[in-house]
Amino acid sequence: MNRRAFLATLAASAAAPAFAQTAPSSPAPLLYYAGQAGRLTSDRDRQGGNPFASALCDVLPELPLTLETFGARMALANSLHSRGWQNIQMPRKLPDPKSKLGVEGQSRRALVLINADYSKSEAYSLPGAKFDARRVPAALQVAGFETTLVLDATVDAARAALDAFATHSASADVALIYVGGHGLQHKRTVYWMMGDYPERDSKWLATHAISLDEIAGAGTARQANLVLYASCRDDPFKGK
């Protein structure tokens, strides 16, 4: 190859974008909180579980719904089931409010993360969350979501499930992650508490809790990634 041909080949190679640069990225997660910052949520309503879970079980049979309508229906049902105790916090801006969940041919995958047994912790166990561990996955499956339940897992097992879901959801159109059990918001970060959280001290957050940001990162679907957080957002470690 002469020098001119070599330089032309080199220039073409430099101009061609790498695969990593052209590969489409997953849309940012859409976070739905059962309650406002600084507030507790209820473990049991009249149906026997978290009002947020009751809301989800009410709304899923109504699919297909636009993202906008899904949020509105969740907000209303959550408020009704909690008798006004829980007021949902939804994404302020939707990428496409008219985008639909539950349309025919849409690939949907869900991960349900619930901790109900806190007997190894100073926290009380949650019979409502245990009930939700049965009904939430069932409702998601009926709604066409290929669903994985992670119940009362260790932090390592939960992280392994998140890693697996990140890989699995990448080939789906929609990913949904439901989080139930004890939770908190400390220094503006929301956490899901494991069942063996040692004592009432924030020093254990790094080893016995998982931030919602980390959980949300496991949703890697092509069209929409929803995270539904049913837990509390109070701060038992305030000032620590």
- Triad 35, 124, 156: Cα angle to 5°: 80
Q: Is cis: bond before 64, omega within 30 of 0?
A: yes
| pLDDT for the residue numbered 240 | 60
For residues 212 and 98, what is the distance between their CA atoms, to the nearest angstrom?
26
Span 139-164, pLDDT tens digits? 999 999 999 999 999 999 999 999 99
- Residue of 179, 98, 170 lying closest to 132 (CA atoms): 179
Q: State whether residue 190 is helix, strand or coil.
A: strand
The architecture that CATH gives domain 107-229 is 3-Layer(aba) Sandwich (3.40)
Which pLDDT value is given to residue 109? 98
Q: What are phi and psi of 107, to 5 degrees?
A: -85, 120
Q: What is the mean pLDDT of each run of 10 residues along the chain (240 residues)?
A: 39 34 71 97 97 98 98 98 96 91 97 98 96 98 98 98 98 98 96 95 96 98 97 87
DSSP β-bridge partners for residue 227 = 31, 177
What DSSP state is assigned to residue 29?
A: P
- For 198, the 3-state DSSP assignment is coil
- Does this model's pTM top 0.85? yes
Q: How far apart are CA 109 and CA 111, in angstroms?
A: 7
Query: What does the alpha-carbon distance between residue 127 and residue 130 come to, in Å, rounded to a whole number?
Result: 5
Residue 217 has, within 13 A of its CA and on its CB side, a CA count of 7
Q: How far apart are CA 53 and CA 133, in angstroms?
A: 10
Q: How far apart are CA 240 and CA 203, in angstroms?
A: 9
